[in-house]
Copies of this chain bind each other. A is one copy, B any other.
Amino acid sequence: MTGPGLRERKKEATRQAIRAAAVALYRSRGPHEVTVDQICEKAGVSARTFFNYFDSKEAAVFSLALTPDDVRSGVAARPASERPLATLRAVFTERFTAASADPTFGERALMLREYPELWGRLTHVNKLVEEAALESIAARTGLPADDLYVRLTVETALAANRAAFKCWYPGSDPDLVVLLNQAMDILDSGLEPPM
């Protein structure tokens, strides 16, 4: 009822302050002009604390809304009878809903639009997410991870993700989750042309 203790809440607040400061500086000065010290000063935190939270400067900015562990535990929590694509839709929408609560989420999206060269930093993490999804769906269906159906399902779900994310304008309608659901609906309809 009372939620997490004071310690947890303050910890999360610190993490959030660092992230917010980092993203804001990346946006206002450009990724190349930002130092750890500046982030720390803006976040009201010492450099040492910064590195207690993030392994690197980049990590503060690129910690994703969707982690491999999210995917694994999310898939595991869904009923086994569910269609794989429906499972991934549920997991992704659930994660994005949670991410929307993070004030820096929209900021980060805008940052990526403003400095597209930063997309490169995400490829590695995206690959990890994909692998997690492959493994999870494979385990659930009993198929091998390199089965065509499994691969296609995962690729398709991630494609819907990317499409929704790129169509999304943070802070304005429609919501990212709405867009993602629309994309998934289109997939469900077999990519029927929308008339």
A56 within 8 Å of B by Cβ? Answer: no
The minimal Cβ–Cβ distance linking A16 to chain B, given in whole angstroms, is 14
**0 or 1 for each of A30-45: is its CB under 8 Å from B? (1 = yes):** 0000000000000011
**A43-71: which have CB < 8 Å to B?**
44-46
Which of chain B's residues have a CB closer than 8 A to the CB of A6? 44-46
Residue from A6, A10, A45, A46 with most neighbouring chain B CB atoms (10 Å): A6
On chain A, the number of residues with a Cβ less than 8 Å from chain B's Cβ atoms is 5
Which of chain B's residues have a CB closer than 8 A to the CB of A10? 44
CA distance A44 to B11 in the complex (A): 12
CA distance A44 to B6 in the complex (A): 8
**0 or 1 for each of A1-13: is its CB under 8 Å from B? (1 = yes):** 0000010001000
CA distance A29 to B10 in the complex (A): 27
The residue on B at minimum CB distance from A41 is: B6
Which of chain B's residues have a CB closer than 8 A to the CB of A46? 6
The minimal Cβ–Cβ distance linking A21 to chain B, given in whole angstroms, is 14
By Cβ-Cβ distance, the 3 closest A-B pairs, closest first, are A6-B46, A6-B44, A10-B44
Which of chain B's residues have a CB closer than 8 A to the CB of A44? 6, 10
CA distance A93 to B80 in the complex (A): 75
CA distance A105 to B146 in the complex (A): 70
Which of chain B's residues have a CB closer than 8 A to the CB of A45? 6
